[in-house]
């Protein structure tokens, strides 16, 4: 039996909002690699915050024993990378939001500014190479994709030389080769640096082979709130503006390019998406998938300089950004991590009726009914009055999905929509997407790095820098 590095005996948070259903009894022994596994809303984040000492306890405070590293502060020995931390700190997020303003690109720090070359010795240099960061050193932070930003943040955390690294959903947002790279890198650091890991995951499939013990948290929702494989009836859909569009592309891009300074994201890109089609958009981290969707959604001013038509109308011929957005339902990791409004969940859903970040237009009673109906479909009606930032990251994702569907959009653009969801809720959302897109005139563009997440309705595939031979040929 190894030394107890972290121990909690009958831990109960002082604040009632931070308590788990049962007192916390937890131990991490020297040499162990743990996974904390539980469904969305089971209390994984509360448990981690208790472990790191963020929540004061009524009695029996957390005990730490870091051996020869005991002279360092607890925060130096334990590094916790939560969901939002995985994509950049406040400064990185600020610059990331400014990527659409080309005049700001040169002001953004580069990767080498936050991850200096030559620091950390040979192991650090090897880590950069193994994780594909060596070729990104001169890239501005605003030009990194979400997957590239996640790799950068993990490397920054490892460079602090923690004795225990806690990562929330370590593999989301990473393409398959990068997930394998990360597993190899973590295993190497376990052997060469004695790193201990606590991985917070929602699915058994995300637990690497090097994990030695799994801490399982039970479902916290009542039995009637847990999806049983059957969907409630989806709210009725507004009539599409649509019959005249039957023979016109919903999205048409002709010889489109996206560049920032000397850096080209993609060029010579042509693509047509017709009404009722369901597409999967594929590509490695950094291939430009989210950037392309930003052009389609008019979230990038360069879209007005490109040959793009939406719903049969050429971009820049007088339509406002709101004319475009009112016919599109959209969710993405970037939207999720930028969404910092601590409003009741039902108001977040209602904001989708007017495409606002906050709720600036008070919904009518019949709109509240529609919002509740979509929250019921996604299994989160019981969370209607809970504020957004008090929800788990998985619960937040379901709220944002309900927001994307609430106006029954003609075009759904779903960028990694199942991020952070447990197995049962992934299957539920996959079924919702498939059922919704079986309605006449509904069109889908979906991005995922997990082919098994694609619903059966997806029959068409578009690749960005991916050989066609590597694209899925069918969906299970």
In a domain, 227, yes or no: no
Residue 308, CA atoms < 13 Å, CB-side half-sphere: 24
Q: What confidence score (pLDDT) does residue 451 get?
A: 94
Query: Is 231 inside any structural domain?
Result: no
Q: What is the pLDDT of residue 7?
A: 97
Q: Are 197 and 274 members of one domain? A: no
Asked if residue 107 is part of any domain, the answer here is yes
Q: Is residue 51 part of a domain?
A: yes
Same domain, yes or no, for 175 and 263? Answer: no
Query: Among 220, 254, 274, where does a domain finish?
Result: 220
Please indicate, yes or no, whether residues 254 and 216 belong to a single structural domain of this protein.
no
- Is position 413 within any domain? yes
* Predicted confidence (pLDDT) per residue in 319-377, tens digit: 676 777 889 999 988 788 777 778 899 999 998 988 765 555 667 787 899 999 999 99
What is the CATH classification number for the domain harbouring 180?
3.40.50.300
What is the pLDDT at residue 90? 42
**Tokens at 372, concatenated:** 């509740």
Q: Do 207 and 137 sit in the same domain of this protein? A: yes
Taking the model in full, what pTM does it have? 0.88
294 and 205 in a common domain: no
229 domain residue, yes or no: no
Domain limits at 167? 4-220
Reading the block at residue 110, the tokens are 């580069």
The pLDDT value recorded for residue 453 is: 95
Is residue 54 located within the same domain as residue 136? yes
State whether the Cα torsion 144-411-425-399 is positive or negative: positive
What is the pLDDT at residue 166? Answer: 96
Chunked into runs of 10 residues, the chain (476 residues) has average pLDDT values of: 92 92 95 95 93 92 91 90 63 46 63 73 76 84 78 84 92 88 89 93 94 92 63 74 67 88 84 96 90 83 79 74 82 81 90 70 80 95 92 92 95 94 94 96 95 96 68 48
Q: Which DSSP string do the residues of 199-268 spell out, in sequence order?
A: EEESSGGG--TT--EEEE----S-GGGS--S-PPPPPPPPPPS-GGGTTSEEEEEEEEEEEETTEEEEEE
Residue 469: the pLDDT is: 45
Q: Are residues 133 and 9 in the same domain?
A: yes
116 and 32 in a single domain? The answer is yes
- The answer to whether residue 476 sits within a structural domain is no
Domain count, the chain: 2
Same domain, 16 and 111: yes
Q: Does residue 280 share a domain with residue 203?
A: no
Contact 160, 154 (CB under 8 A): no
The domain boundary, picked from 188, 220, 252, lies at 220
CA distance linking residue 240 with residue 223, whole number of Å? 37
Q: Is the dihedral of CA 312, 315, 318, 321 positive or negative?
A: positive
Q: Is residue 57 domain-shared with residue 147, that is, in the same domain?
A: yes
How wide is the angle at C-alpha 78 spanned by C-alphas 74 and 79, nearest 5°? 130
Is the residue at 226 inside a domain? no
Give pLDDT, residue 91.
43
Q: Do 121 and 74 have their domain in common?
A: yes
């Amino acid at each position: 039996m190894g030394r107890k590095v972290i121990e909690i005996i009958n831990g109960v948070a002082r604040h009632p909002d931070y308590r788990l259903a049962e007192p916390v009894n937890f131990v991490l022994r020297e040499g162990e690699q743990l996974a904390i596994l539980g469904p969305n809303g089971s209390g994984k984040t509360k448990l981690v915050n208790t472990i790191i000492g963020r929540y004061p306890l009524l009695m029996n405070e957390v005990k730490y024993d870091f051996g020869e590293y005991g002279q360092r502060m607890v925060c130096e020995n334990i590094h916790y990378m939560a969901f939002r931390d995985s994509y950049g700190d406040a400064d990185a997020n600020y610059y990331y939001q400014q990527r659409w303003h080309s005049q700001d690109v040169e002001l953004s720090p580069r990767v080498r500014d936050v991850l200096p070359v030559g620091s950390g010795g040979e192991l650090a240099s090897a880590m950069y190479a193994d994780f594909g960061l060596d070729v990104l050193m001169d890239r501005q932070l605003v030009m990194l994709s979400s997957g590239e930003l996640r790799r950068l943040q993990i490397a920054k955390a490892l460079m602090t030389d923690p004795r225990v690294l806690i990562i929330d959903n370590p593999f989301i947002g990473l393409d398959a080769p990068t997930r394998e790279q990360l597993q190899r890198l973590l295993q190497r650091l376990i052997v060469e640096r004695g790193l201990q890991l606590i991985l917070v995951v929602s699915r058994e499939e995300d637990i690497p082979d090097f994990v030695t013990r799994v801490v399982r948290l039970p479902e916290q929702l009542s039995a009637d709130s847990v999806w049983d494989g059957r969907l409630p009836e989806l709210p009725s859909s507004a009539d599409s503006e649509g019959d005249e569009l039957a023979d016109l592309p919903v999205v048409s891009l002709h010889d489109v390019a996206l560049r920032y300074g000397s850096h080209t994201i993609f060029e010579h890109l042509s693509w047509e998406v017709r009404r009722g089609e369901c597409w999967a958009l594929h590509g490695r981290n950094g291939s430009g998938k989210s950037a392309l969707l930003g052009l389609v959604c008019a979230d990038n001013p360069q879209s007005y300089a490109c040959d793009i038509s939406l719903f049969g109308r050429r971009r820049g011929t007088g339509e406002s950004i709101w004319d475009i957005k009112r016919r599109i339902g959209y969710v993405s990791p970037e939207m999720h991590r930028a969404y910092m409004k601590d409003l009741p969940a039902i108001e977040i859903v209602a904001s989708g009726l007017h495409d606002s970040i906050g709720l600036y237009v008070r919904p009518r009673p019949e709109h509240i009914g529609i919002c509740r109906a979509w929250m019921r479909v996604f299994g989160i009606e019981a969370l209607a009055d809970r504020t957004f930032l008090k929800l788990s990251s998985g619960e937040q994702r379901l709220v944002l999905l309900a927001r994307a569907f609430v106006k029954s959009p003609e075009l759904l653009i779903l960028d990694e929509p199942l991020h952070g969801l447990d197995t049962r809720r992934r299957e539920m959302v996959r079924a919702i997407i498939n059922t919704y897109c079986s309605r006449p005139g509904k069109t889908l563009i979906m991005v995922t790095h997990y082919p098994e997440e694609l619903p059966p309705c997806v029959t068409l595939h578009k690749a960005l820098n991916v050989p066609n031979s590597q694209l899925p040929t069918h969906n299970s």
